[in-house]
Each structure stands twice: as C-alpha cells, then as structure tokens.
Structure 1
Amino acid sequence: MKIYTKTGDKGDTSLVGGSRTTKSDIRVWAYGTIDEANSSLGLARAKICNKEIKENILLIQKMLFEVAAEIASIGTESYKERINEEDVFKLEKLIDYYDELKPQIHAFIVPGGTEESALLDISRTIIRKSERYIVELKDYYKVNEQLLKYINRLSDAIYTFARYLDYIDIKNKVKVNIGLYKKNKLDREFARYLVDKCIVKALEIGVPMVITVVDDSGNIIIQERMDGALLASIDISKNKAYTAAIFKKPTHELKKLSEPGEELYGLSNMKNVITFGGGFPLKIEGDLFGAVGVSGGTVEEDMTVAAYAIKIFKEVFTYGVREE
C-alpha cells in the first residue's frame, strides 16, 4: 500500500468514519496540533535519560492517539468519547507525585535549564496551543468535558516533568560542587567574588560597609573596607563572620538564644562573639564552607547585604556560573 493516496490533493481530508472536510477545519487544526505535540514528546523522550519519566511520556503519547481520534470523530456519525474521568485522575496523580519530589516554585521559570526540560517545555506549549483549538471547537460542536480537562492537566503534567528534571540536574551539580569545594575549601578567589558582589549591593543602598569572609574555622580569608566605612566596622564585620562560622548560625538568631533563661545565656559576653544581625554562615545542604560578616549600616542594612552574599554563594554552587 502506498503512503500517498492523492485524496487530499485538493485540500480536503478524511475524518473518522470516512466523511470528508477541508484541511482548514478547526477539527483538523485541533487533532493536527495533538499530533505535533505527540511528535514533540517523542523527541523529548528520546533525549531524556530518566527511565520513569520516559515510561510516563510513552504512556501519554499512546493516549494522545486516543485524543486525536476522538477529536477527528467530533460531528460525525462515528463520534465516540474515548477520554474519561479516570484518564484525568491518572494525570492528576502523576502531577501530584512529581510535584512532591521537588521544592515548591513561586516564580516564572525561564525554559532551558537542561536540554531535556527545554524539549518538554516546547511540548508543553504545543499542548497549550492544542487546548486553545479544542476550546474553539466548543463554538461549533459539543466537546467531551473530560477531553478538555485531560489536555489542560496534560500541560501541567509535562511542566511538572520538566521542573523535576531541572531539580535533579541542580541537585547533581550541587553535589559535584560540594565535593570540589570541600576538597579545596573556600578559596580566596571565590571569597573575593562574594565581597565584590556585596560592595555592589552596598553601593545600591548607599552605605559604605566593611565585608569579611572567613573559612569554616572562622579565620579571615578576605576583608574589604569601602571608602567612608566606620573604623569600628572592621572588628564588628570580622566578629560577625567569626561568630556565624563557629556557631554555624546567622548572628541574629543567636540574640534570643543568649537571653536570660535560654540555652546560650551569657554568650554575648564572650570575646569576639556578636549576637545581632549581619553575619551568615556559608552553608550548602548542611555543609559549612565559611561565613560572611557585614557592618557599616543599620542592622537591617547589614543583613540585607550579607543575605545577598548568601544568595550569590548558593547560585554559584547551584549553577556553577559567576557573573562578570
């Protein structure tokens, strides 16, 4: 049997049951876009290494044949509902399962974290496009409510797959980076990078500061005093970093613990120990690499700059990229 039939040479095509319609029919747009999504998922599946995700995508691809067949039968004598409530429920279980395996996301994600997730994000947008065509179908035909729900949940499922794969990739990178930095410890180059970022942040809020980075034993790696910073801030910054390192806690958390009746009462009387904000430990997944201490502004301003250093520190560990 030949692949080409010549029956569509004039711009029409067959629906399920054999009836003919133009290729510009909204039904053709809808099931054609489902076919596009299926092919896109096939490419993603071919690139993905995670066996469980691959198997779930394959099951979804097989279901998309049923989806396309149902759409291609709408408005014909051969119409049959192929997607049901159970199919929607299975997708919801998948979404919930993978959503619980990763941290919650509270912001828009820029696609392209990995090749695998990028391909899934392309598939997701094609599925969204097919959903819009199916919604338009409702203006002309009665559409199975469960079919529309299934496509809506499907884009969510593919999104969840993509974010889970991004999360696994990030976890693996963090493990590698932890191993590398534990071997070499926190070096001066990285400490210099953190200090430079803190200076940029301090300039943004308009306060000259002293920034100190120490190693995991509280020994100074680097200290920088911005022009105009208070001389007293030199020792305060150093002691904030030292305190955060030896207690492995942000200095502001020690304030309450050092009050009368608390477990660290009298701590504030110890030499070189600071119990107000501005010192943060540099930790990843419980591993201590050092600490940063900032002084020069109000406690809130010091904490803002020090917290920014922690953000930069975690970003470098997570993505392995330093901004110029």
Structure 2
Amino acid sequence: MKIYTKTGDKGSTSLVGGERTNKYDLRVWAYGSIDEANSSIGLARACMEDENLKGKLLKIQKTLFEVAAELASLGTKNYRSRIEEEDVVFLEDTIDELDRMRPVQNGFIVPGGTVESAHLDVARTDVRRAERYISELRNHYEVNDSLQKYVNRLSDAIYAVARYFDYKDILKKTEEKLTSLNSGEKIDCRGNPQKNLLTNTVLNRETAEYIAGKCIEKSYDIGVPMVICIVDFDGNVILLERMDNSLLISLKVAFKKAYTAAALKSPTGELYKALLPGGEFYGLNNDENIITFAGGFPLKIDGHIVGAIGVSGGTVDEDTSVSKYGVEVFEEVVKYGIKR
C-alpha cells in the first residue's frame, strides 16, 4: 500500500470514520497541534538517558494518539470519548513527583537550558496551542471534559519534566565546579609537606578550642549565648561548642554555616544571590546542609581554605561579629601561635 493517496490534493482530509473535511477545519488544527507536540516529545525522549522519565513520556505519547483520535472524531457518528480521569491523575502524579525532586522556581525560565528541556519547551507551546483550539471547539461540539483537563494538565507536566532536566544540569555543573575548587585549593602534602604539616598543626582540636573560647568571651561581651562550630576543609566537625541557654536550633544552624562556608569557599552571608535561579550555585540549596544565613566564614592559610567557622544564636549582625572575630583569632594563631 502506497503512503500517498492523492485524496488530499484538493485541500481536504479524512476524519475518524472516513468523513471528509477541509484541512483548515478547527478539528484538524487541534489534532494537528497534538501531533506536533507528540513529535517534539519524541525528539526530547530520544535525547534522554533517564529511563524512568523516558517511560513516562512514552506513555504520554501513546495517550496523545488517543487525544488526537478523539478530536478527529468530534461531530461524527464514530465519536467516542477516549480520555478518562485516570489519564489526568497520571499527569498530576508525575508533576508532584518531579516537584519534590527540585527546589521551587520563581519567575520566568528562559528555554534552552539543556537539549532535552529545549525540545520539551517546544512541545509545551504546541500543547498550549492545541488547548486554545480545543477551547474554541467547545463552541461547536460537545468536548469531553477529561480531554480538556488532560491537555491543560499536560502542558504543566511537560514544563515540570523540562525544569527537572534544567535543575539536574545546573546541579551537575555546580558539583563539577566544587570538585574543581576542592582539588585546586587543597594543600598537597606531596608538593609541600611543610605547609601541610602547618595546616594540621594549626587547625586541630587545640586550636579549635582556643578559637571557641575567644568567641565565647566575645559572646559574653555582647550578652548573647552562642553556638560555635569549627570544621575542617572537608566540612567535618572539629569542635561544636554550645554556651548555656543558647537556642537549641543554633546547634544545627552553626554547623550548617560552617559546612556551607567550607563547601562553597565563601562567607555564608554572601551566597544568597548565588543560590537563586540563574545563580552560580543554584540548586545546591536543595542540600539540607547548605544555608545562606550570615555567620559562616572560611578559615584560610596563605589564601588556601583549610576549614571554616559558623556561629549562631544572635541576630545577623551579632553572629557575624562573633564569627569574624573567630577568623581574626585563627589568623593570629597562624602567625604567632596560641597565646598562653
């Protein structure tokens, strides 16, 4: 059987059941847009490695054949509803699943973050166009409510999948950058054993206790009980000191401040914009140990980060004041040793 039939040479086409209509029929525009969306979804799926999402998109593509068939039978004796509420529920479950896997995004997203999301964004606009045609079809035909709900929900589902791929890409690039920073700044004992010995000698339990003691004195001066946490280069706790009557939650917050300052090589109070959508470290705020409250500072020797300090318990200014003082104490220890 030949692919071409010549029956459409004069601008007509067949609906489901064989009835002929013009190719500019609103029904043709509607199911034609669904066909375009299906093709774009297929292109995106062909670029993916995530088997779970590939499976979900394949299911959506098969359902779109049913959507198109239902649209192509509107107003004919062969019409029957094909889309049901369970199809809508599948899309809603997919959206909810993906929303739990990525941080909340506010504002408009510029398409083109990844190959997969770019193709999906094209599909999303095709679906939106189909939805507009379907809304107009309701003025002329009795359209299945579940079909209209499905198409409306479909654009949201495609958007959720696209943003998930953007998020995964940003997370991957950020992790690569952090790995590069870590390998670039870590002091190599083979290259300079004396410097590595200095690091281990200076930032140890004794030094951490000395710094914390000075920070506690500072906290008494301002009249606020604090929690002081000092971590090593890898974010492991060297010391976690809690003053009497300090807030219980400050135990977690102080550690997170120190960990974040060590992991991202920056004072925590300067990281807020970098963790927003489009920022250098966007996506890492999904890590429960990352925090952007001020009060965390890296500890450095000759420009190399060897650890960090985090302070919590007071206002932003109070936490910052005590943690900065801790940095100053550490720098004095590096230069002159612990003052007895």
Give the TM-score taking structure 2 as reference length: 0.61
Judged with a 3 Å threshold, the aligned counterparts in structure 2 of structure 1 residues 255 and 92 are, in CA distance, closer, same or farther, namely farther
Residue identity over aligned pairs, in percent, reads 49
Matched residue SS, 1:316:
coil
Shift of 1:307: 4.3
Matched residue SS, 1:184:
helix
Residue 158 of structure 2 corresponds to residue 158 of structure 1: yes
Distance in 2, Cα, partners of 1:23 & 1:310 = 54
Question: Does the 8 A contact of 1:88 with 1:153 survive in 2?
Answer: yes
Question: Does the 8 A contact of 2:178 with 2:264 survive in 1?
Answer: no
Judged with a 3 Å threshold, the aligned counterparts in structure 2 of structure 1 residues 310 and 5 are, in CA distance, closer, same or farther, namely same
What residue number does 1:72 align with? 72
What residue number does 1:316 align with? 280
Distance in 2, Cα, partners of 1:289 & 1:55 = 36
Shift of 1:37: 0.6
Aligned ranges for residues 154-233 of structure 1 at < 5 Å?
154-185=154-185
Distance in 1, Cα, partners of 2:16 & 2:223 = 73
Shift of 1:68: 0.3
Q: In structure 2, give the amino acid aligned to 1:56.
A: K
Matched residue SS, 2:280:
helix
Judged with a 3 Å threshold, the aligned counterparts in structure 2 of structure 1 residues 123 and 15 are, in CA distance, closer, same or farther, namely same
What residue number does 1:288 align with? 263
Shift of 1:266: 11
What residue number does 1:22 align with? 22
Aligned ranges for residues 1-324 of structure 1 at < 5 Å?
1-185=1-185, 256-258=224-226, 263-264=242-243, 284=260, 287-292=262-267, 307=269, 310-312=272-274, 315-318=279-282
Shift of 1:185: 2.5
Judged with a 3 Å threshold, the aligned counterparts in structure 2 of structure 1 residues 289 and 65 are, in CA distance, closer, same or farther, namely closer
Question: Does the 8 A contact of 2:17 with 2:78 survive in 1?
Answer: yes
Give the TM-score taking structure 1 as reference length: 0.64
Judged with a 3 Å threshold, the aligned counterparts in structure 2 of structure 1 residues 89 and 27 are, in CA distance, closer, same or farther, namely same
Shift of 1:107: 2.1
Structure 2: stretches of 5+ with no match in the other structure: 188-201, 204-210, 228-240, 247-255, 284-340
Question: Does the 8 A contact of 2:91 with 2:154 survive in 1?
Answer: yes
Judged with a 3 Å threshold, the aligned counterparts in structure 2 of structure 1 residues 255 and 42 are, in CA distance, closer, same or farther, namely farther
Question: Does the 8 A contact of 1:177 with 1:317 survive in 2?
Answer: no
Distance in 1, Cα, partners of 2:275 & 2:27 = 52
Matched residue SS, 1:17:
coil
Shift of 1:67: 0.4
Judged with a 3 Å threshold, the aligned counterparts in structure 2 of structure 1 residues 135 and 282 are, in CA distance, closer, same or farther, namely farther
Question: Does the 8 A contact of 1:14 with 1:20 survive in 2?
Answer: yes
Cα deviation digits, residues 250-300 of structure 1 (max 9, x gap): x9xx985449xx943699xxxxxxxxxxxx96865x7435444xxxxxxxx
RMSD, aligned α-carbons: 3.6
Judged with a 3 Å threshold, the aligned counterparts in structure 2 of structure 1 residues 31 and 289 are, in CA distance, closer, same or farther, namely closer
Shift of 1:128: 0.7
Large movers: runs of 4+ above 2 Å: 254-259, 262-267, 280-284, 286-292, 306-319
Cα deviation digits, residues 40-96 of structure 1 (max 9, x gap): 111111112211111111111111000000000000000010001111111111111
